[in-house]
Structure 1
Amino acid sequence: MDSSPPVGECLDMCPERERRERESQRRLHPLEVQKVQRPNKGPRGRSHPLADPKKTVKEYRRPAAGKELSYPSELRPPATLAKTVHYLLMDVWSSVNYKDLSCLAKTYSFVFDRLRAVRQDLIVQRIMGQGGALVLERSLGFLLCAPYLVRDLPLADYDEVLHSTQVRECFSELVECYKDGGGFPRQAEFQSLLLLYDLGNLDTVHKGMQLPCGVLQSPHVRLALDINKAHFENNWVRLFRLVHQLNCLQACAIYRHLPAARSKALCTLIHAYSSRNSRFPLDLLTRMLALDGPSLTMDMCSRRGQTVMSGENPSVLFLKTALTDVKPESPGREMNLVEQKKGQASWAEVMIGQDRVITNEAQ
């Protein structure tokens, strides 16, 4: 029996058969339909949405949903997959309205699902090397930025567990592509993103230390390893000083760890500076925790039973006996650590790879 993988022959973002099927079954996403609708002469007289071939994208299907998953006519080759990812980010996502949560939820679900289908085509065809890496790197750009951008969506519209699972699977597949040999311009960048996303994971750090010398010694990876080292040592002042040096995409990768890191840092400071006869400057504490403003610092301290002293020079009275055990704050907006790093680039450009500069060299 021939065990070689199938080779994709579909040059469109969505196979014609699927496009017609979903059109007839009224399963087109609103982002895939034409503005003009076909009249329907059925008893209910409802209009029939038409698929736009330039906007319709192959949807994700579970392996048991149909044998056509391995048909060459249903599979897209690497060039088409790269074109599809580019369209999803630069055309679809770049037009999202972040203030309209309904629009944001609709666009997120569409892009997330279609990127799963892209990865599915990669796996079925066993595409590795540079062709697979390019598609996976750009897909990860979206997957790493999205949690920050959709943080205000309700649980029904954003499944954090499912999203995290896709991030890990995508990273795993990308690392396998890198093992295939060849030149990968962004390998060091994405190895650093994995180290940041898995902050504090010993297994990930161990694998990171075994990277090829050229990748291991890159500024991206050295900075990510230094941040992990600070985390293991509970050196929170150094950790947040290093986090300030991350670029936008890297900051999004570590974003999910920030609330817990800040909570541990504040608890450490409370124990270290606990005294009724001393005060800790609020502005200094805000800078040490890399928060966007004193009001956020005051809220963190108050939730933990610490007294905030107002006046010309606001300060905090740290008392470990008054320390209250609370859960870390929910992830929120990060102007200093995330959005200012984006600069004039769009989020789609950050995702696709236009923002790759480490602002400062790790120390």
Structure 2
Amino acid sequence: MMEKSSLTSFIGECNRMCPVDEIKMRIKEELVHPLEKVFKAGKLINDPDLMVKEYSRSAAGRHEIPTQDLRPSPVLLSTVEYLLGRVSVVEGRPWSEVYDFIFDRLRAVRQDMTIQEMEGQEATTLLEYIVRFYIYSGYRLCEEKFDRFDPKINDQHTQECLKQLLSLYTTCHFCPENRAEFESLYLIFNLGQAEALQHYYELPKDLREHKLVKRSYMLSVAYYFGNYINVLKCLKSPCFTRHPLVLCAFHRNLTQLQRRALKVMSHGYSSKALKYPVQHLADLLWFDSLSVCVTFCEVCGLQVKGDESVLFLKSSFSDPEKVQPVHISGIDSLLCQQSLGTLLLGKDKPFDLTSLRQSLDNIGLPQNQKIAFSKNLSDGKNYKPKSGRGRGRGRGLSSKEDNYARSEVQLVGKNQGQKWNSDSKNHEPCTKEDGTISDFKALNQYGSSNHTNISARATKEMWKMDTSCDQNAKRTQFYKEQEVNFTHECWEDELFTEEDMKVT
């Protein structure tokens, strides 16, 4: 049997986010994605520095993997931080398109990790970033149509990365500082699942005693035994509201919880003479409004009289085949309290193109492996790609498909917070007039029709980043200054303080 050391002979030699051969091929074939371009001189132009390796399936009959196309762990870390800290906050395009692009590029990152059999702290950090993105995306795009976002595929990739991450935790020889967060995410994402509950008892004792992990386990047990109201009450505690991504992971189970709770109530309150207040039911089961609650009840076969009371009958309840999930204003508000880059990376790290280029140039590879661009890079003359690349999610767009591109692409820097419209056509930040946010505290005030709205005015400022860099002999014309404008998003958000999230 071959030793493991002989099998793990692949070490990446590419010190860029995208291999040179792929850059040439995609520029020649006009497969550069609009998010890999910069706005200059009134139009979008290709920028090789912003191009990120796209995912491609292994070619049949291919026996060798070129190491010059593999990115080592430092380059992968810089690439993922660029995608989540910079591309994820791009303006001017639907976020579903941004998701498709990042989804494809992260898949290529995971492919490079698998080929190189990466382990250790770098691998765990990369998977932590990726899991956060999948969970956040699953919540943010939950109202999108199926042709623009497939929640099943997103959940499959989330599950794969979570299990791979937990497996690395058990084999690593250091103490990951974020392990409690992701153990909790695994329990909540797989709410009530026997496999996840069994995994809890396989954890070290100190981790089982961690407040967040222990409460996540108790919440999963409550869901398993059908104590749905207790589950919703526990989620309003500061232990969970301090971790909004945990609430995003729970959201995938919310529709099923509401359906099961209505089924139990249909059996328990089955009577033609009993009238159950709709407002109380909406507060109890986390429906944002009376209209949403009424629509959900009607889909389940329950009769609603005048938007005021629900008539529970055992015989009238029917399980709907599929119910479209909706955003919860309380979760929206918690997500708005920090920038998207901070939420996904777990740290406040404004991204600078100049620092990215310098960090990639100083990876520490041997000098003979450093990549130098030639002047014919942009037109791809006399170049034949080694192998065709697949065009899956996030593929490059042709020149005709790119005609719909906005006249200007603005990247967001340090944003105070972020909120989006639930309109599936464009996910752009909302203003105060777009809608009010009801907090979790109001969910506990049964019979109350007025939710408490707490406003916090965001500080208005302009933030610009200088992307110029010194000219030197190693850089070609594509390393010259790119005119990229950065602005600070400023709008009024209705946010909650920690005190407002406490359950009375």
TM-score, normalising length: structure 1? 0.86
Q: Does 1:237 align with 2:229?
A: yes
Show structure 2 runs of 5+ residues with no match: 349-497
Q: Measure, in 1, the Cα distance between the counterparts of 2:30 and 2:58.
A: 22
- Checking the alignment, whether the CA contact within 8 Å between 1:89 and 1:348 is kept in structure 2 is yes
Aligned-residue offset at 1:298: 1.7
Query: How big is the shift at 1:297?
Result: 1.6
1:351 and 2:375 equivalent? no
Task: Provide TM-score, normalisation by structure 2.
Answer: 0.63
Equivalent residue, structure 1, for 2:281: 285
Task: Write the distance in 2 (CA, Å) between the matches of 1:7 and 1:132.
Answer: 14
Amino acid at match of 1:321: S
CA distance in 2, matches of 1:319, 1:171: 41
Normalized per residue, the structure richer in helix is 1
Structure 1 65/255 Cα, relative in aligned 2: closer, same or farther at 3 Å?
A: farther
Cα drift, residue 169 of structure 1: 1.7
Aligned ranges 1:6-155 → 2 under 5 Å: 6-35=10-39, 51-64=46-59, 67=62, 70-96=65-91, 103-155=94-146
Aligned residues: 342
SS at match of 1:322: coil
**Separation (CA, whole Å) in 1 of partners of 2:16 and 2:346:** 24
2:269 corresponds to 1:273: yes
Greater relative CO, 1 or 2 (CA 8 Å, sep 6+): 2
Q: Which runs of 4+ in 1 moved over 4 A?
A: 34-37, 65-69, 359-362
Greater alpha carbon shift after TM alignment, 26-35 vs 188-197: 26-35
Aligned residue for 1:308, secondary structure, equals strand
CA distance in 1, matches of 2:338, 2:64: 37
- Residue in 2 that maps onto 1:226: 218
Q: CA deviation at 1:163?
A: 2.1
Corresponding residue for 1:216? 208
Distance 1:346 1:287, change over 3 A: same
Structure whose alpha-carbon radius of gyration is higher: 2
In the alignment, is the contact (CA less than 8 A) between 1:130 and 1:177 conserved in 2? Answer: no
Alignment match, 1:324: 318
- Conserved? CA contact 2:259–2:319, under 8 Å: no
Query: Within 1, Cα distance between the matches of 2:294 and 2:45?
Result: 54
Tell me the distance in 1 between the aligned counterparts of 2:70 and 2:192.
38
User: Which residue pairs with 2:155 in the alignment?
Assistant: 164
Identity %: 30
After superposition, the Cα gap between the structure-2 partners of 1:66 and 1:81, relative to the gap in structure 1 and judged at 3 Å, is: farther
1:7-33 deviation digits (Å, cap 9, x = unpaired): 222221112222122112222111113
Residues 210 and 280 (structure 1 numbering): CA distance in 2 closer, same or farther, change over 3 Å?
same
Distance (whole Å) between structure 2 residues aligned to residue 54 and residue 244 of structure 1: 44
Cα offset for 1:160?
3.0
Cα distance 1:108–1:279, how it changes in 2: closer, same or farther (>3 A)? same
> What is the one-letter code of the residue matched to 1:164?
D
Seen in structure 2, the aligned counterparts of structure 1 residues 62 and 8 have a Cα distance that, compared at 3 Å, is same
TM-superposed CA distance for 1:361, in Å, is 9.3
Q: Secondary structure at the match of 2:310?
A: strand
Q: Superposition RMSD on alpha carbons, in Å?
A: 2.6
Pick closer, same or farther for the CA change 1:80–1:346 going to 2, 3 Å: same
Correspondent of 1:335 among 329, 335, 340: 329
Q: Cα deviations across residues 213-270 of structure 1 (Å, max 9, x unaligned)? A: 1222212211221221111110111011123343310111122111111000011112
Distance 1:288 1:35 in 2: 49
Q: Structure 1: state its 5+ residue gaps.
A: 38-46
Answering whether residue 303 of structure 2 is matched by residue 304 of structure 1, we say no
